[in-house]
Amino acid sequence: MNTSLFLEGIVVGFLMATPVGPIAVLCIQRTLNQGKIHGMVSGLGAATADAVYSFIAAFGLTFISNFLVKEQMWLRLGGGIFLCYMGLKVFRAKPVQRAASGNNISYIGNYVSAFFLTLANPATFLAFAAIFVGLGLVSAAGHYVSAGLLIAGVFIGSGLWWCTLSGATGIFLKKLGYGKLALLNKISGIIITAFGLFILLSLEIWKA
């Protein structure tokens, strides 16, 4: 039973991470401009946020879940603003920075930014809760050991996807010259900013 929960957690974590969104674009951009390790570290930040939300869903922490649902507008507002900031930063980034100052780029900064960007989307928690209920994992998750294995599986599954994405992207790193990397930065920046603007414009705060 415990082994089954662990494996199901891996599958759930992997599938939850695969949809292409702003984190995927950011992970690809960082891989191409800063190297595979930076892309993987960013992905692990997102995987950690997935594990946090799966923890809340598995243990049924009512207070936190109610807070996330109640304050989701403000969380999305913060996430949208941060995405716009990251998009503009990526848009203005110069590929030459990877060769000139790659050692000065913070792994912690990449990890933390990806973590909070993923955490700023309460819909992730709702998705985990729905999946756990749909697969009948809620009752099993009530036991500490079983829940721990389920959450560990989610983290590993999500991290596996991000490492795969960064690794596959890194294969093409040497094939891209300065001009193509510069263009990719522009395109990535526009896409990330567009995600941020979409989130901001979809908020109920603008609807009277």
The pLDDT score that the predictor gives to residue 99 is 41
The pLDDT score that the predictor gives to residue 139 is 52
Q: Model confidence over 70-98: pLDDT tens digits?
A: 777 877 888 788 888 888 888 887 764 44
Tokens of 156: 């590993």
The pLDDT score that the predictor gives to residue 86 is 82
Contacts for 101 with CB less than 8 Å, ≥ 6 apart: none
Q: In tens digits, what is the pLDDT along the chain, a chain of 208 residues?
A: 567 888 888 998 898 888 768 888 888 888 888 888 899 999 999 999 999 988 888 776 666 667 776 777 877 888 788 888 888 888 887 764 444 444 446 889 999 999 998 888 877 777 887 777 766 665 554 567 777 888 899 999 999 999 998 888 877 766 666 666 777 778 888 888 888 888 788 876 666 5
pTM here is: 0.77
Q: What angle do CA 79, 135, 54 make, to 5 degrees?
A: 30
Alpha helices in 93-177 (DSSP H): 96-101, 107-119, 123-134, 138-141, 144-171
Q: Rounded to an integer, what distance in angstroms lies between the CA atom of residue 44 and that of residue 37?
A: 10
Q: Model confidence over 101-120: pLDDT tens digits?
A: 444 468 899 999 999 988 88
The pLDDT score that the predictor gives to residue 205 is 67
Q: Can you state the angle between helices 107-119 and 22-34, rounded to 10 degrees? A: 170
Map out the domains of the chain as residue ranges: 2-206
The pLDDT score that the predictor gives to residue 124 is 79
How crowded is the C-beta side of 51, counted as CA atoms within 13 Å? 22
